[in-house]
Structure 1
Amino acid sequence: MKIKVGIIGFGSSGKFIHTGLLKAHDGYEITAVASSRAKDVHKILPKAFVAKDFFEIVKRCDVDLVIVCTPNAEHFKHAAAALESGKHVVVEKPFVTKVDDGKKLIALAEKTKKVLTVFHNRRWDGDFLTVKKLIASGKLGEIKQFESHLDRWRPQARADRWKEQNIQGAGTLFDLGPHYIDQMLCLFGKPDRVIADFAVQRDQTLGVDYFHLIAHYGNMRAILHSSYFTDVTPRFQIFGTDGNFLKYGVDPQEDQLKQNQSPRSPNFGIENKNLYGTFINPATAETETIKTEKGNFLKFYDLLHKKIVSGQGEAPISAEEALKVIEIIEESVRVGYC
């Protein structure tokens, strides 16, 4: 059975990530798109119906699933409208910008008996799958410090972009933060407390473009960090009682999708060997190269198809799990310094 899909918003995420994944999956057909750029849509999806008004998409009979790829502050409105119209819903991260809005959507999904899930695709990054496997193996011993960095060299901001503005849901905490908070929660669960630091470091932007979160888990610390003034920091640093792990580079899948590479191609999700991580035993100075697992964003849509069509299994990411990410963000903003 093919699930018929309507995409609301055709920016980078809708155009490259979701469309690229769905076109590679036999279980989906994109039938409609809400966008003001019909010509851009039809270059990629020549048969899709295109409308500027998102209500035209959620009301269509040939749409079973709505994917919300609009600016963060609009996620609640668009997801609610889709659920009320009897559609299953995928919301791009972040789920919502307010915890109360997330609770309302969860209640609405329960009332309408529709699937509501959030696209935390970074659970299927190859480097994260590697970290998850390495920690579970016990090779590092008891984890004492976990660091996750997504730093970029982008000293010049694009002030015309909504993500650079001082508005609800903008800034790097809502843009990059949800992925890496979600990964932290997958590995360690809810922290005892969070300490947070934020800053606006670039002259041309109004939104937060630097954050440093420290999550406390007993005597273990998980550090999530993002800056636009470096790209030479490791993606992961993990210190344990039996060894350390150091990993540079970022998962290739997003760039591959933007280059129109099919997720079904043999090399999709496979990282360059030069970026494999290193296990270090400080006691002996011995090192070991750790091969990066193959990334698999398409797994999200495999699991979702199974859930919608057969009712089997769980949603790829439950809305309740995604709401925990927003709770961490709200708590970080409450206690943080900017």
Structure 2
Amino acid sequence: MDAVTVTTPPETRRELVLEAIAAGLHVIADKPFAPSAEGGRELEAAAKAKGVILSVFHNRRWDSDMRTLRKVVSDGCLGPLWRVHSRMDLDQPSTLEAGPTGGLLRDLGSHLVDQMLWLLGPVRAVDAQLDFLDLPQGRTDAGFTLTLRHESGTHSHLSASKLNRLAMRELRAYGQAGSYVASSTDVQAQSIFAGRRPTQDLSGWGFEPRTSWGILRTAAGEVEVPAEQGRYHDFYAAFAHAIHDGAAAPVTAAEDDRCSDRARRSPSERPRRALHRALAGHP
């Protein structure tokens, strides 16, 4: 055995990751892979000391809608980019991870922040507003809005919910030359829930249906933008490449550390703070 994937409930992951590292195994840990930034750095240090790879499963860099948006941006279709809006509302109250080590910011928020860092680069400041409710397991954030101010001057606006009986995934991008809007079906996740796997139809896997293709609007008019392929399986291929060939690991623990629980406290402390304090967990 070369590696393990840890997908157990969040409160159990630290011990299991440390056990796997101690056994000399490479590890993919589901997010959030640690209850705090400090805990994340502990796991990162343990992996480094043992000489094994620790990656965090931020598979949503490989979403079809994000890959399509990245192509629109990189192709210069929008001109100089001003801002990006990312909304993910899920009608899934039963899946909210309750208590002080849970919450929606660590769950969906870690994905949405990681996508924007991957798409737009480093962030210099963040604003955070969280919606809380009191549960038997403790106070829990059940929704959020975030504004990330990127070093490039672009800003991104992220929001998510699970309790508000809404089901909507939308990406919007605004630039000097126009706009791009897409409402997607989360096609790979839905396929996996239905029991399908990429190996059953690799060439046809992970494409948003035409009814969910984005619309690019510029001075030239409106055009549909064909969906890029979503490829969650590329994460695992890159992980295997890192193990066997020494290539860079996909989504390292150090990268995930930028999305720590410190953002959860920004509404009650300082509404704006440098990223290294709000997201990286530094004092």
TM-score when normalising by structure 1: 0.72
Q: Displacement, 1:337?
A: 4.8
**1:132 and 2:66 aligned:** no
Q: Deviation digits for residues 275-333 of structure 1, max 9, x if unmatched?
A: 0000012x46x11101110111111111112222x23311122221122222xx42x22
CA-CA distance at 1:234 after TM superposition = 5.3
Counterpart position of 1:191: 123
Counterpart of 1:319, as a letter, is A
Cα-to-partner distance string for 1:123-157 (whole Å, 9 max, x where unaligned) = 11111111111111111111111101101235xx3
1:30-88 residue CA offsets vs partner (Å, 9 max, x unmatched): xxxxxxxxxxxxxxxxxxxxxxxxxxxxxxxxx33121112223222211111011111
Preserved contact between residue 212 and residue 223 of structure 1 (Cα < 8 Å)? yes
Corresponding residue SS for 1:244: strand
1:245 aligns with 2:176: no
Q: In the TM superposition, what are the counterparts of 1:83-232 in structure 2 within 5 Å? A: 83-154=21-92, 157-158=93-94, 163-168=96-101, 170-200=102-132, 207-217=140-150, 219-228=153-162, 229=164, 231=166
- Which residue identity does 1:293 align to in structure 2? E
Between structures 1 and 2, the one with greater strand share: 2
Distance 1:231 1:244 in 2: 24
Residue from 253, 264, 269 that aligns with 2:206: 269
SS in 1 for 2:158: strand
Task: Map 1:322-333 to 2 at 5 A.
Answer: 322-326=256-260, 329-330=261-262, 332-333=263-264
> Residue 79 of structure 1: SS of its match in structure 2?
helix
Secondary structure in structure 2 of the residue aligned to 1:176: helix
Q: 1:261 to 1:146 in 2, by over 3 A?
A: same
Q: Is the 8 A contact 2:90 2:168 kept in 1?
A: no
Identify the range of structure 1 (298-307 vs 260-269) with the bigger mean alpha-carbon deviation.
Answer: 260-269
Work out which of the two has the higher radius of gyration on C-alpha atoms and give 1 or 2.
Answer: 1
How far 1:119 sits from its partner (Å)? 0.6
Match of 2:248 among 298, 314, 324: 314
Moved more, 256-265 or 201-210: 201-210
**Which residue of the partner structure matches residue 296 of structure 1?**
231
Deviation at 1:204, TM superposition (A): 9.8
Relative contact order (alpha carbons < 8 A, sep ≥ 6): 1 or 2 greater?
A: 2
User: Relative to structure 1, is the Cα distance of residues 125 and 69 closer, same or farther in structure 2, using a 3 angstrom cutoff?
Assistant: same
Q: Does structure 2 retain, via aligned residues, the 8 Å contact 1:247–1:277?
A: yes
Residues in 2 aligned to 1:230 and 1:138: alpha-carbon distance in whole angstroms: 36
Superposition deviation, residue 102 in structure 1: 1.4
2:134–2:140 contact (8 Å) kept in structure 1:
no
TM-score, normalization by structure 2 = 0.86
1:232–1:322 Cα change, 3 Å = closer
**Percent sequence identity over aligned pairs:** 27
Structure 1 residue identity aligned to 2:175: G
Residues 261 and 268 in structure 1, CA contact (< 8 A), matched pair in contact too: no
Partner of 2:265: 334
Which ranges in structure 1 are unaligned for 5 or more consecutive residues?
A: 1-62
Over 3 Å counting, the alpha-carbon distance change for 1:131 and 1:203 in structure 2 is: same
Counterpart-to-counterpart distance in 1, 2:225 and 2:97? 37
Instruction: Return the letter of the residue paired with 2:145.
Output: H
1:126 and 1:227, CA in 2 relative to 1: closer, same or farther beyond 3 A?
same
Alpha-carbon shift at residue 190 of structure 1 (Å): 2.4
Deviation, structure 1 residue 264: 1.9
1:230 deviates by 5.5
Contact 1:64 1:87 in 2 (8 A): yes
